[in-house]
Amino acid sequence: MGFIDLSGSLGRHFGSIGVALNEISTRLSISDAEKLIISGPAAQRAEKCLSLLSKALRVPDKLNVIIESAIPEHVGLGSGTQMSLAIGAALNEYYGLGLSVREIAAVTDRGLRSGIGIGVFEQGGLVVDGGRGDKTITPPVLSHMNVPDNWRFILVFDQRGQGLHGQQEIQAFKELPPFPQSEAARLCYLLLMQGLPAVAENDITKFGDVISQLQRSVGEHFSSAQGGVFTSPEVAAAMQWLEQQGAVAIGQTSWGPTGFCAIDGPQLAESIVNQAKREFAHFDRLSFVVASARNSGGDVFVV
């Protein structure tokens, strides 16, 4: 849902807020095999993760890996982190390594900027991480809260493209102008004294206002690199319409192109999405998903 301090004016870079979702997930299983076999979506990425982890953890990679579902890649939903942690957690359980989620994350160099993916895999819910300092291995979780059960999040996908990632993302961060210290201070204050209390008191309107302000600030900062506050003009149009229907917490996740917003109540969220599908039927690459918050971390089962 956004970064807090992109310039690290007080010595810690980034810091971010995010929420775990139920409906968009990575699920996989591993079992013994005579050689490495990987099947299912995102198999190529899974193979890279498994190769890195098996070497780093010094365990055999003769396994049958079945990927049941995978988060779409490079659309701002933390697909790489969740794939790495899912495979790492599976290997950890399979070989009895006794590693923590953060130890697995450190092996795969996850959390180099946002710590949300690690935090939600550990605990789920809403997470605020403290960014990176000189001695940071993985960004620490500063706040973890359960998201009210009645809240729903609408995701707007643009299947035409992907957000910046890899070397392009690294270069974009280098070329961005300094983020004002005064603005970082304002966002921190808003988050601490309005956003988080609103979650505790089930006030989606106040929470949404804080997220929208944070998103506008960070989106305008990123606009030179991504072509505007939103990467996708079609997503931008849909988000404007959703706000007019009463949605709050309007924003883009990471570099996009995925947009998000929040609605109080599952029935209302479904109704608005059905309207949106009709309203934007002419945008044939646009899709809408209603998601609920997941207030628990990643699950590992032994069969």
228 CB-contact burial (10 Å; exposed 0-12 / middle 13-18 / buried 19+):
middle
Q: What is the pTM of this model?
A: 0.92
The more confident residue out of 161 and 46 is 46
pLDDT digits (tens, 9 = 90+) for 251-273: 999 888 999 999 999 999 999 99
Written as one letter, the residue type at 220 is E
Domains with residue ranges and CATH for the chain: 27-142 (3.30.230.10), 147-292 (3.30.70.890)
| Percent residues over pLDDT 90 in the chain | 83
**Which residues are 156's β-sheet partners?**
259, 288
Q: What is the pLDDT of residue 113?
A: 84
Angle, vertex CA 110, rays to CA 107 and CA 116, nearest 5: 140
Give the model's pLDDT for residue 224: 78
**Cα–Cα dist 27/71, whole Å:** 9
Q: Taking Cα atoms as reference points, which of 34, 30, 36, 27 lies closest to residue 94?
A: 30
Is pLDDT at 166 greater than 70 in this prediction?
no
Handedness of CA 271, 273, 276, 278 (dihedral sign): negative
Order of strands across the sheet with 248-252? 248-252, 259-264, 151-158, 286-292
Give the span between the Cα atoms of 224 and 61, in whole angstroms.
Answer: 43
Instruction: Give residue 182's Cα distance to chain centre.
Output: 26
CA–CA–CA angle 206, 23, 54 (5° rounding): 115
Burial of 104 (0-12, 13-18, 19+ CB in 10 A): buried
Q: Which two tokens stand for residue 144?
A: 């973890």
CB proximity list for 41: less than 8 A, separation 6 or greater: 67, 69, 70
Average pLDDT of the chain, as a whole number: 93
- pLDDT value, residue 67: 97
Per-residue pLDDT tens over the stretch 15-44: 999 999 999 999 999 999 999 999 999 999
Token pair for 299: 């699950």
- Across 274-303, b (16+ Cβ under 10 Å) vs e yields eebeeebeebeebebebbbbbbebbeeeee
